Amino acid sequence: MTRALDDAALLPLADALAAGDWVSGEALAATAGVSRAALAKRIAQIEAWGLDIEARPGLGYRLTAPLERLDAAAIRVGLSPASAARLAGLDVALRVDSTNQRLIEAASANDPQALFAEAQTAGRGRRGRDWRSPFGANLYLSLAWSFAGWPPKLGTLPLAVGVATARALAASGLSSVQLKWPNDLRIGDAKLGGILIESRSEIGGACRVIIGLGLNVAMTAGQGAHLEQAWTSVHATQLAVGRPTATRNALATAVLDSLLAALAQFEQDGFASFLADWNRLDLAAGRAVRIEGATTLEGHACGIDPDGALIVESADGQRHHVHAGEVSLRLPAAAA
């Protein structure tokens, strides 16, 4: 039985198709020094990465959308001087199980450290949900940061990270991004990205957080076909308003730069300096919502309190403060 090639050995094939143009199977096989049958097996392997590949007799193979791989050096050089000075480590992996998991296992002495991946095989979202992570289509980023002690109101950190990401996207021309409590980025009711933060106690009372961010950038309809909820991407949103699409490297730089600045700000001032922006970007404000947790709560969302809890006013006029990790927010379906 022929053993599957490792990722690094398959990468030249993905790069040969990166422009999105038709490339003949004969040319690809000759470059790789393999038979056409062996080439077909390699194509199947990189399709399993989540690459959307089209094949036609007489034309060969092509990616349905061009592929831009991330470049750690280019991302680092684009950071602001303050962020570049803060960041101790930056790497781009080809495929990992989960960028969060890789940084959980990394030494905290190297914090702050950031890890991007071209694809994840076991990406995860809030409450254990899977996160679809096709190769080279989106941003999969984890950032490890160590606080000297446990910050007050650490539960508000996902909200601050949402604000920081929305700020970076607004600077890239996506002014329509909103935040859905507690950890989603949205364009209207379509999901653009999500945040997952995991914390660890360290020796001496220190607090280490791993901030995971998944952001849809250039995912094709085929790559997102199995998602169960409405979604959109940075490129789709930019094209819809007639703007040129941002490169993945430029977006990676902008988001990482904003997150590093936000963490320093959060460490110094807490959530107070993010609250006004969060309320301005709140997708649910004033809308009828349904909260499902240990019990079900229905009412109207009335923003968040200084502790980051969602305020929901039920039909009897009572205000409930709902805390992250206990419930999920369900926006009602749009009217037909």
pLDDT in tens, 264-274: 999 999 999 99
User: How many Cβ atoms from other residues are within 10 Å of residue 136's Cβ?
Assistant: 23
Q: Are residues 163 and 244 in the same domain?
A: yes
Asked if omega into 12 is within 30° of 0 (cis), the reply is: no
Q: Residue 326: CB partners within 8 Å, gap ≥ 6?
A: 293, 294
Contact in structure between 178 and 260 (CB atoms under 8 Å): no
pLDDT of residue 224: 85
In single-letter form, the type of residue at position 306 comes to: P
Residue 156 maps to which CATH number?
Answer: 3.30.930.10
Q: Are residues 129 and 274 in the same domain?
A: yes
Q: Are residues 203 and 295 in the same domain?
A: no
What is the DSSP annotation of 165-198? HHHHHHHTT-TTEEEETTTEEEETTEEEEEEEEE
End-of-domain residue from the set 32, 63, 94? 63
pLDDT of residue 222: 84
Q: Residue 257: CB partners within 8 Å, gap ≥ 6?
A: 78, 79, 80, 83, 168
Within-domain flag for 118: yes
H/E element, 296: strand 296-304
CA separation for the pair 36, 149 (Å, rounded): 59
Chain centroid to CA 64: how far? 22
Which position among 42, 102, 126, 248 bears the catalytic label?
A: 126
Within-domain flag for 39: yes
pLDDT of residue 133: 82
Q: Are residues 123 and 140 in the same domain?
A: yes
Backbone angles phi, psi at 212, to 5 degrees: -105, 135
Backbone angles phi, psi at 128, to 5 degrees: 80, 5
pLDDT in tens, 83-105: 999 999 999 999 999 999 999 99
pLDDT of residue 5: 76
The answer to whether residue 330 is catalytic is yes
pLDDT of residue 326: 43
pLDDT of residue 330: 59
The segments of the chain whose pLDDT lies below 50 read 1, 127-128, 324-327, 334-336
Within-domain flag for 1: no
Which position among 36, 41, 319, 330 bears the catalytic label?
A: 330
In single-letter form, the type of residue at position 102 comes to: R
CA-nearest of 135, 140, 141 to 112 is 141
End-of-domain residue from the set 63, 93, 110? 63
The answer to whether residue 102 is catalytic is no
Q: Are residues 232 and 105 in the same domain?
A: yes
Half-sphere exposure of 138 (CA within 13 A, CB side): 27
pLDDT of residue 324: 46
| Domain enclosing residue 196, as ranges | 72-280
Residue 292 maps to which CATH number?
Answer: 2.30.30.100
Within-domain flag for 274: yes
Which position among 42, 102, 132, 191 bears the catalytic label?
A: 191
Q: Are residues 274 and 296 in the same domain?
A: no
The answer to whether residue 243 is catalytic is no
Within-domain flag for 336: no
Q: How many domains does the chain have?
A: 3
State the pTM of this model: 0.90
Q: What is the 8-class DSSP label of residue 2?
A: P
Within-domain flag for 247: yes
Q: Are residues 171 and 311 in the same domain?
A: no
Q: First vs last Cα of the chain: how many Å apart?
A: 54
H/E element, 238: helix 234-240
